[in-house]
Every structure is written in C-alpha cells, then in structure tokens.
C-alpha cells in the first residue's frame, strides 16, 4: 500500500492559478496522493476537470457535505487525511470548521475566515480536536525568508528598531475605474470577500511576514485606507503604522492600484547592529546591511544558511527557487506533522497566524473608520 498522504481538494478547478499551485506543491516531494475532490460546484464540470488532469472519478463528489459524509464512512486506512480549502473567502470558515470537527487535517488559503470571531472559533475547535492546520502564507516557504528569520532569532541584527513592508500590485486598476466591473467582481463584494479587499488579500501577507521573520507580535496599529470611489465598499489601497513595543515601530504599505506593479512585495527589518532586506520578485537574494560595510548578498543552497533554509532548498546554488517551491515547502512541513515526524514550527504558518491575521484586518478597518486612530491588537 502507498505510504503517501491521502489528500482531498475543495475548489481550485478549471483555470484556477491557485489550484495549479497547490497541485504542483503537493506533488513536489512525493508525499501526497490526490484522492478525492470537489473542484467545482457544477458536478459535470467537476468530473470533466478530474478527467482532464488524469485522476480517477469515483471519489469526485457532487458537493462538500456529501464528500465529508462519504469519506467518514470509509475505513481510516482509506479515508482522506488532509483537505485543502481553495475556495473563495466566504467558504473558508464553514468548510474548515466542518473538516476540523470531523477530525481531518486542513490546509487553508488565506484569509482564514471572514471575521476574527470565526478565526477564534476555528482555533477553539483546532485545540479540541488535536489535528494539524496549515495556512498558506506562501512566502514563508522561500529559503531566504527562512534564513532571514533564523538570523534575526540568532540576534545577528541586534535589537529591532524599525520594520517596513511594502506590497504593491496594480491588477485591480482596470476594474476599479469601471462602475459595472467594480460592482460585479467578487473581490469587491463584502458578502464574498469579507470586510477588506486590499488588507484582507495582500496586506495580511505583509503583516504575517513581519511577525514571522521578527518573531515579535505587533502590539498596535493605525490605518489609513483608500476606497477611491464612494460606491466602492472595500479598501483597495492603504498604509498602516505599526508599533511592536516602546521603541520599535514600523510601516506597512499595500496597494492594488499601484499602476504597472505586478507583485512587488518587499520586507525590511532594521536592527541596532545590522539590517536585512528581501524582495519577492527577486526571492533568491537576501541583503545584509551593516554600518561602514559593503552590502552582502546571501543566496540559497550555501552552507552558511540555516538548517531550515537548506531543508527548503531543492537545487544547487545558482538555480532559482520559485513560488511553486515555496508552496511545496509548506506542504512538506505539513506532511511531517501529519505523519508524526519531527518538524520545525516555522515550516508552515499555523492557526495562530490566521487568528492574528484576521485581527489585523478588522482592526485596520476599525482604525480607518474611527478617524485613523491607534488600535491595540
């Protein structure tokens, strides 16, 4: 019998970019076997897609509830072990809730839920059931991001004084200026996307990344968000001031109307002794800055990197590691947890990241609505 983890997928069918990303990531280390799915709410399209990607159709189900019910009837050694939730935002909470309550391990796209209260509910169930939960903040899978975290944890930067994250995209620019398009896309519909578009989609990535690499909790925020048009209910741009403690402060800038930008995500952490910078569009370079010294460039695959960074490096130095590899590293860490093997908590974002991320989104909207005031997290 195969020792691969039996894996189920919810959503991600058709031409979904995120579906391809997850399937490639799950196959990367030969740890998962795609066993069953509900790719699409239309059953005929669901079956057609399964045939198109070459998987058996006998465990392609008509809907989510049927899938859970029928999987639970199977013997434990045949049942799906891990589900990935790749659906639109409003379905994340009900699906993850039912899966956790049923004893399945869960990999979930972000944002984890629509509301902070829902995130806390998932956290409660997660603790009660003792299953594993991974949130796909994909960028934490990059080897040089993991190296950044390891260097900061080792004190190589000294006391943290300033943090800075920028996440600029321009994809919504053609949509937002057309009244018909901005009223019809699900990304700008609070019923489907939640209370925030920009902060809920990409700002939360920057927030989670800053807490991930520094190992510190952001204590308070002040947000100034931009809706651009009065009839647009959701933010598509914003700036958030951050406080980590008495003296350590920072800024988070996120935009989906930065014309011409593709996926310009950068993070910088400034310490008393040195600083580190990383850019998502050039993910193999980690820049180390020190007063009076030339800039040093650290790259993946070299012996000077940390154990976790090297574990997430699949190619020799000089060969690019990309976003598929980063997502694959998250699946690899989750596989270790599901199998009961030893793993480092930094190998995949957790339920805590989801809870704190939802708190950040809600508090950003609250700070803006209350006149750009400081809100404690």
Rounded to 5°, angle at Cα 170 from 234 and 11: 65
Question: Reading across the β-sheet that carries 249-255, which strands appear in turn?
Answer: 296-298, 282-289, 275-279, 264-271, 160-168, 249-255, 237-243, 220-226, 374-376
Same domain flag for 180 and 105: no
Regarding whether 126 and 86 lie in a shared domain, the answer is yes
Tell me how far apart the alpha carbons of residues 282 and 269 are, in angstroms, rounded to a whole number.
Answer: 17
Domain termination site, one of 138, 159, 189: 138
Q: Are residues 168 and 183 in the same domain?
A: yes
Same domain? For 148 and 123 the reply is no
DSSP 210: H
For residue 271, what are the β-bridge partners?
A: 160
Domain match, 225 and 362 both: yes
Per DSSP, the residues of 126-145 read HHHHT--EEE--GGGGSHHH
Please compute the mean of the pLDDT values over residues 270-280 and round it to a whole number. Answer: 97
Measured over the CA atoms of residue 292, residue 303, residue 216 and residue 325, the dihedral's sign is positive
pLDDT value of position 321: 67
Please provide the average confidence, as pLDDT, over all residues in the chain: 94
Q: What is the pLDDT of residues 308-341, one digit of tens each?
A: 998 887 777 876 667 778 889 999 999 999 999 9
Asked whether residue 174 falls in the same domain as residue 284, the answer is yes
Q: Which domain holds residue 174?
A: 143-313+350-376
Query: What CATH number is given to the structural domain containing 13?
Result: 3.40.50.720
Co-location of 124 and 159 in the same domain: no
Sign for the CA dihedral angle at 34, 124, 120, 61 comes to positive
Nearest to 163 by CA among 280, 289, 275: 275
Q: Cα-flanking dihedrals φ and ψ of residue 283, to 5°?
A: -70, -10
Same domain, 286 and 172: yes
Tell whether 221 and 72 lie within a shared domain. no
Percentage of the chain exceeding pLDDT 70 = 99
Boundary (domain end) residue, out of 138, 173, 192: 138
Mean pLDDT score, 135-158: 95
Q: Is 319 inside any structural domain?
A: no
The pLDDT value recorded for residue 185 is: 86
- Residue 42 sits in the same domain as residue 55: yes
Q: Answer yes or no: do 185 and 265 share one domain.
A: yes
Q: Which of 117, 138, 159 is the last residue of a domain?
A: 138
Q: Read off the pLDDT of residues 96-113 as tens digits, 9 standing for 90 and up.
A: 999 999 999 999 999 899
Mean per-residue pLDDT for 359-370? 96
Q: How confident is the model at residue 245 (pLDDT cuts 50, 70, 90)?
A: confident
The predicted-structure confidence for 183-222, as pLDDT tens digits, reads as follows: 888 889 988 888 999 999 999 999 999 999 999 999 999 9
- State the burial class of residue 119 (Cβ atoms within 10 Å of its Cβ: 0-12, 13-18, 19+): buried
Contact 188, 207 (CB under 8 A): no
Q: What percent of the chain has pLDDT above 90?
A: 83
Structure confidence at residue 1 (pLDDT): 46
Residue with tokens 């100034």: 224
Do residue 256 and residue 171 come from a single domain?
yes
């Amino acid at each position: 019998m195969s020792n691969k983890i039996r894996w189920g997928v919810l959503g991600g069918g058709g031409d979904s970019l995120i579906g391809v990303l997850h399937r490639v990531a799950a196959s990367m280390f030969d740890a998962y076997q795609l066993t069953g799915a509900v790719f699409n709410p239309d059953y005929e399209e669901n079956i057609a897609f399964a045939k198109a990607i070459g998987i058996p159709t006998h465990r392609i189900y008509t809907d989510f509830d049927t899938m859970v019910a029928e999987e639970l009837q199977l013997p434990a050694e045949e049942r799906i072990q891990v589900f990935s939730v790749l659906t639109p935002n409003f379905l994340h909470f009900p699906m993850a809730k039912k899966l956790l309550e049923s004893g399945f391990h869960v990999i979930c796209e972000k944002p984890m839920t629509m509301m902070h209260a829902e995130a806390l509910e998932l956290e409660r169930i997660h603790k009660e059931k003792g299953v594993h939960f991974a949130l796909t903040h994909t960028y934490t899978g990059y080897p040089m991001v993991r190296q950044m975290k390891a260097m900061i944890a080792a004190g190589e930067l000294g006391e943290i004084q300033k943090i800075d994250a920028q996440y600029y995209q321009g994809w919504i620019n053609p949509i937002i200026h057309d009244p018909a398009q901005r009223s019809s896309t699900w990304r700008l519909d609070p019923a489907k996307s939640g209370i925030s578009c920009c902060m809920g989609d990409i700002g939360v990535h920057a927030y989670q990344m800053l807490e991930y690499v520094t190992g510190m909790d952001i204590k308070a925020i002040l947000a100034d968000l931009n809706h651009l048009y009065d009839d647009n209910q959701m933010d598509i741009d914003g700036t958030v001031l951050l406080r980590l403690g008495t003296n350590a402060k920072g800024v988070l800038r996120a935009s989906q109307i930065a014309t011409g930008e593709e996926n310009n995500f950068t993070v910088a952490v400034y310490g008393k002794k040195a600083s580190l910078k990383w850019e998502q569009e050039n993910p193999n370079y980690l820049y180390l800055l020190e007063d009076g010294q030339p800039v040093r460039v650290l790259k993946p695959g070299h012996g000077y990197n940390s154990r976790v960074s090297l574990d997430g490096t699949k190619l020799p130095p000089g060969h690019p590691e990309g976003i598929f590899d980063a997502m694959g590293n998250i699946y690899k860490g989750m596989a270790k947890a599901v199998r009961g093997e030893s793993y480092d908590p930094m190998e995949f974002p957790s339920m805590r990241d989801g809870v704190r991320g939802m708190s950040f989104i809600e508090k950003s909207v609250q700070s803006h609505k209350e006149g750009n005031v400081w809100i404690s997290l």
